[in-house]
A and B are shown apart, each in its own frame.
Chain A
Amino acid sequence: MLLRTEKLSKQFSGIYALKDINFQIAAGEIHGLVGENGAGKSTLIKMLTGVYQTEEGDIYWEDKKVKIMNPSQSRNLGINVVHQDRTLIPTFDGVENAYLGREYPHRGIQVSWKEMRQRVEKVRDQLGIDIDLSRLASELSPPQKTCLEIIRAMMNDCKLLILDEPTASLTDKESEILFDIIGKLKERGTSVLYVSHRMDEIFRLTDRVTVFKNGSMVSCMRTEDVNRNELVSMMADEWSGEGIKHNTSFGNVLLEAKNIQTQDGIMKNGTIQAHEREILGVFGLGGSGRTELLEAIYGYRPMKSGTVEIAGEKQEKLSPANSIKKGMILISEDRRGKAIIEGLSVKENILLSSIDAYSKYFHIDEKKEKADVQDKSNALNIKMTGMNQRVLELSGGNQQKVVFARALMTDPKVFLCDEPTQAVDIMTRSEIHKLLRKKADEGNAVVYVSSDIKEILEVADTIQIVAQGETRNKLKNENLTAKEVLSYCYEDA
């Protein structure tokens, strides 16, 4: 066995991200790793590559017990990883990128560029990759970048190559190039740990596949002994949203977005419709384009084509300011980056979207502001020393309440919520759910994006599936199970 773990576990502040993992990879094997968002795949990769240290359980490398303390130690063992978010330096050429984090060969005090180039070319040719190493990384196409990352990973004696969602940003045709290279790696006897959401790739490439669910290892089997449906059902819980009351009768259409294509090409074709009294859950796996879709509809992310109608009225010029005017608000998933201003006070943060509402002729009605902010923060039960406290000092849950308070100040009809309960405590989570249900019952529309399938089944009346940059089926949340929802995501286009 090349790699073996015994009862490997990892916990973060008391919660297990990985529990009792007994995982194996044989030499020369292509091993698939699947599981839904948060199943523990990334945690395992980080432990094998020395980003996280092992505290419970053991790792055996070539049948010898090892402690992987840091990334360079992991590399020295022969483990290399190609991440989904690429780590090339755009202004370096292929040779220099291949040498990142590696000692440059010297002749005297001078770097021997010739020797570097020869070494990289050798690895390139062995892998049969066709790429010009003198070009800057920024000039390379997405598959070429992936190839370059693989070259970099193979620069030293690599025995295990971890590919983390390598095809996420590639087209089908581009993926083929990658699959060829994986074939070559296998011939050379290099093991590959292949992590992907895409089932057809798992079936096409891998010898064995391991399934993770909620931090545990569910199963490990030969790929040929299992079919797609069995695999998907292993990844998902039996859990369903049954027993929770959902709205089934909706009013008029409040939000209609058609054929949204973002300029960056991440969302290719998005169409959603949300009605009065409806909580529309939007579910998709990581990288499916759900955040991009919401941001484009809101007017924050540049759109290439598509139309947005709010309450039957076509939005002529999309911008956050216009959306707010028409009664649509976005709760961003990136709280620190896009939703709060850490240096400003709770009051100032809550008022951000309604500055003009209190301002007349160079004068702000500060008394009314204070009263309204107090109202909203009482209603949402924001825990703070006072409204002048800096928002930076609040807990994650209370920061999120501040973001909601700001949204409520504008009296919106359409709520676009992107992972609104991300990194908040359980209390706040249920308060946010209740608030949005109340808002829907009052005749508003809520679009609720979450990567947590259980949460979607819990909150949503209807579920819109997003996969690979497209909106797909829209399901009624009646007797739906997580399994069924997931199976739509894994369906090929």
Chain B
Amino acid sequence: MDKSKKNTGTNIKQILHAYGTIIALIAVILLFSIISPGSFFTLTNFINITRQISLLVMISIGATMVMSINEFDLSVGSMASLGGIMAALLAVNGMPMILCFLIPIVISFVIGWINGWIVAKFRVLSFITTLGMSTVLSGVIYRLSGGATIFENIPKSFSWLGTTRLGRIPLLSILMIVAVVIFWYLMRHTALGRKLYAIGGNEETAKISGINVKKYKNIAFAICAVMACITGMLIASRVGSANTTAGDGYFLQSYAAVFIGCTASRKGVPNVAGTLIGAAILGVLANGLTMLQIPTYMQDIITGGIIIFAVIAQKLGRGDSK
């Protein structure tokens, strides 16, 4: 059935299949450039967009890892919020800046590991497990912060990571590029990536082939949580305060980016380059629509529609729509 589809497929179809996602990104950029050339199509705005999507990209590449093993981590949003809160609290209490950022990373690693351990050990749905973890983390956030935004007595150095620019380029954009390159390499060219994709492709086969499925599930969830935590800390650093729900909005957006990213791969699997394109599409849309003063609710409708479309496209791309 797969073969016949291939043979009858026209050239245009094949091109769309292979490059459809990138074409969509270019189309969106062109559209806004034509509508508002003065404000959208400028170098300043493009640099701005890279900074705007940098946080989304970083949380999304962690989610990409968990999705590559066919699991979900719904706790990334609250993990990010918790990361920001933890870093800010440590900074307020006079902890050396390096530790303010390192300690939350270690804690998030442990939390992610627990997620993975529960999912792998008890073979339960990651969907529900991480939803539960998300609620637990929200409770912890409340306990730590008392429910209030943390902004008083935060040292100035706390904001360095989130606000520094190297020339015209924001540090955040550079961090994003570094993270993308590292994760792209990890997933494409290391044993870790190979094993994760094997587990995502068929867990039983992976196990029989000698891959320690449980261990790699733990690793995927742990790294995902760390990326969420880093994202949350950078959000706090950028705005100079830690909000109890700062990361929540990133959760849905990140999975949207991953799903759009799947359509950029020939196999229809989550991949880092695709996720970057997915986040870029979402970022450009948000930037352009805001510029055109389209109301937020319209932006939501458009974004939601794109997510649904991407999921369908991903399924069709995989060729296993049963």
Contact partner of B205 (CB less than 8 A), chosen from A338, A356, A358, A359, is A338
Q: Which residues of B does A touch, CB under 8 Å?
A: 2-3, 185-186, 189-192, 194-195, 197-198, 201-202, 204-212, 267-269, 318-320
Contact partner of A342 (CB less than 8 A), chosen from B3, B201, B208, is B201
A436 near B: Cβ within 8 Å? no
Contact partner of B198 (CB less than 8 A), chosen from A298, A341, A358, A364, is A341
Q: Is the CB of A343 within 8 A of B318?
A: yes
Q: Which residues of A does B touch, CB under 8 Å?
A: 298, 300, 319-321, 323-325, 330, 332, 337-344, 348, 351-353, 355-356, 358-359, 362-364, 366, 390, 392-393, 406, 410
* Residue among B185, B190, B204, B210 with the highest chain A CB neighbour number at 10 A: B210
**With A338-B204, A338-B208 as given contacts, are A343 and B269 in contact (CB-CB < 8 Å)?**
yes
Known contacts A320-B210, A341-B201, A344-B267, then 13 further A-B pairs from the complex at CB < 8 Å, ordered by chain A residue: A298-B208, A320-B207, A323-B210, A343-B269, A344-B197, A348-B198, A353-B210, A355-B211, A356-B191, A358-B191, A364-B189, A392-B319, A393-B2
Q: Is the CB of B318 within 8 A of A320?
A: no
Q: Is the CB of B208 within 8 A of A341?
A: no
Q: Is the CB of B205 within 8 A of A321?
A: no
The residue on A at minimum CB distance from B190 is A362
- Secondary structure at chain B's binding surface: helix, strand, loop or mixed? helix
Q: Is the CB of A359 within 8 A of B191?
A: yes
Residue numbers in A under 8 Å from B189 (CB-CB): 363-364, 366
13 A-B pairs (CB sep. < 8 Å): A298-B208, A321-B212, A337-B204, A337-B205, A343-B268, A344-B201, A351-B194, A352-B210, A353-B209, A355-B194, A355-B195, A358-B191, A364-B194
Residue numbers in A under 8 Å from B2 (CB-CB): 392-393
CA distance A309 to B292 in the complex (A): 72
**With A341-B201, A341-B202, A352-B198 as given contacts, are A332 and B190 in contact (CB-CB < 8 Å)?**
no
Contact partner of A343 (CB less than 8 A), chosen from B185, B201, B212, is B201
CA distance A81 to B24 in the complex (A): 55
CA distance A325 to B209 in the complex (A): 11
CA distance A300 to B203 in the complex (A): 12
Residue numbers in A under 8 Å from B206 (CB-CB): 341, 352
For the complex formed, measure the closest distance between the CB of A310 and the CB atoms of chain B, giving whole angstroms: 14
For the complex formed, measure the closest distance between the CB of A33 and the CB atoms of chain B, giving whole angstroms: 34
CA distance A361 to B3 in the complex (A): 39
The residue on A at minimum CB distance from B6 is A393
Residue numbers in B under 8 Å from A338 (CB-CB): 202, 204-205, 208
CA distance A363 to B191 in the complex (A): 8
CA distance A325 to B210 in the complex (A): 9
Q: Is the CB of B210 within 8 A of A348?
A: no
Q: Is the CB of B204 within 8 A of A324?
A: no
Top 9 A-B pairs ranked by shortest CB distance?
A341-B201, A359-B191, A352-B209, A324-B210, A321-B210, A341-B202, A353-B209, A338-B204, A355-B191
Residue numbers in A under 8 Å from B194 (CB-CB): 348, 351, 355, 364
Q: Is the CB of A300 within 8 A of B201?
A: no
The residue on A at minimum CB distance from B319 is A392
CA distance A182 to B198 in the complex (A): 49
Q: Is the CB of A406 within 8 A of B198?
A: no
For the complex formed, measure the closest distance between the CB of A30 and the CB atoms of chain B, giving whole angstroms: 41
For the complex formed, measure the closest distance between the CB of B198 and the CB atoms of chain A, giving whole angstroms: 6
CA distance A290 to B270 in the complex (A): 38
CA distance A393 to B5 in the complex (A): 12
CA distance A358 to B195 in the complex (A): 13
Residue numbers in A under 8 Å from B211 (CB-CB): 321, 352, 355
For the complex formed, measure the closest distance between the CB of A291 and the CB atoms of chain B, giving whole angstroms: 12
Residue numbers in B under 8 Å from A355 (CB-CB): 191, 194-195, 198, 211
**With A352-B211, A353-B210 as given contacts, are A340 and B205 in contact (CB-CB < 8 Å)?**
yes
Q: Is the CB of B191 within 8 A of A364?
A: yes
The residue on A at minimum CB distance from B209 is A352
Q: Is the CB of A406 within 8 A of B209?
A: yes
Residue numbers in B under 8 Å from A348 (CB-CB): 194, 197-198
Q: Is the CB of A330 within 8 A of B267?
A: no
Residue numbers in B under 8 Å from A339 (CB-CB): 205, 208
Q: Is the CB of A393 within 8 A of B3?
A: yes
For the complex formed, measure the closest distance between the CB of A298 and the CB atoms of chain B, giving whole angstroms: 8
For the complex formed, measure the closest distance between the CB of B219 and the CB atoms of chain A, giving whole angstroms: 13
CA distance A443 to B176 in the complex (A): 55
For the complex formed, measure the closest distance between the CB of A360 and the CB atoms of chain B, giving whole angstroms: 9
CA distance A300 to B209 in the complex (A): 10
CA distance A342 to B205 in the complex (A): 10
Residue numbers in A under 8 Å from B208 (CB-CB): 298, 300, 320, 330, 332, 338-339
* Residue among B189, B195, B202, B319 with the highest chain A CB neighbour number at 10 A: B202
Q: Is the CB of A364 within 8 A of B212?
A: no
**With A352-B205, A364-B190 as given contacts, are A343 and B210 in contact (CB-CB < 8 Å)?**
no
Residue numbers in A under 8 Å from B202 (CB-CB): 337-338, 340-342
* Residue among A324, A338, A348 with the highest chain B CB neighbour number at 10 A: A338
For the complex formed, measure the closest distance between the CB of B168 and the CB atoms of chain A, giving whole angstroms: 33
CA distance A387 to B267 in the complex (A): 15
CA distance A343 to B206 in the complex (A): 13
For the complex formed, measure the closest distance between the CB of A404 and the CB atoms of chain B, giving whole angstroms: 13
CA distance A341 to B209 in the complex (A): 11
Residue numbers in B under 8 Å from A362 (CB-CB): 185-186, 190, 192
Residue numbers in A under 8 Å from B267 (CB-CB): 343-344, 390
CA distance A353 to B191 in the complex (A): 11
Residue numbers in B under 8 Å from A340 (CB-CB): 202, 205
CA distance A366 to B185 in the complex (A): 13
* Residue among A352, A358, A406 with the highest chain B CB neighbour number at 10 A: A352
For the complex formed, measure the closest distance between the CB of A96 and the CB atoms of chain B, giving whole angstroms: 25
Contact partner of B190 (CB less than 8 A), chosen from A298, A324, A363, is A363
Q: Is the CB of A300 within 8 A of B207?
A: yes
Q: Is the CB of A359 within 8 A of B269?
A: no
The residue on A at minimum CB distance from B201 is A341
* Residue among B202, B205, B319, B320 with the highest chain A CB neighbour number at 10 A: B205
* Residue among B2, B189, B208, B269 with the highest chain A CB neighbour number at 10 A: B208
CA distance A340 to B201 in the complex (A): 9
CA distance A366 to B188 in the complex (A): 11
Residue numbers in A under 8 Å from B269 (CB-CB): 343
The residue on B at minimum CB distance from A406 is B209
CA distance A355 to B208 in the complex (A): 14
CA distance A353 to B268 in the complex (A): 23
Residue numbers in B under 8 Å from A364 (CB-CB): 189-191, 194
For the complex formed, measure the closest distance between the CB of A119 and the CB atoms of chain B, giving whole angstroms: 37
CA distance A426 to B209 in the complex (A): 26
For the complex formed, measure the closest distance between the CB of A344 and the CB atoms of chain B, giving whole angstroms: 5
Residue numbers in A under 8 Å from B197 (CB-CB): 344, 348
CA distance A355 to B190 in the complex (A): 9
Residue numbers in B under 8 Å from A410 (CB-CB): 210
For the complex formed, measure the closest distance between the CB of B22 and the CB atoms of chain A, giving whole angstroms: 21
Residue numbers in B under 8 Å from A390 (CB-CB): 267
Residue numbers in A under 8 Å from B204 (CB-CB): 337-338
Q: Is the CB of A344 within 8 A of B210?
A: no
CA distance A323 to B208 in the complex (A): 10
Residue numbers in B under 8 Å from A359 (CB-CB): 190-191
Q: Is the CB of B198 within 8 A of A344?
A: yes
Residue numbers in A under 8 Å from B195 (CB-CB): 355
CA distance A366 to B193 in the complex (A): 14
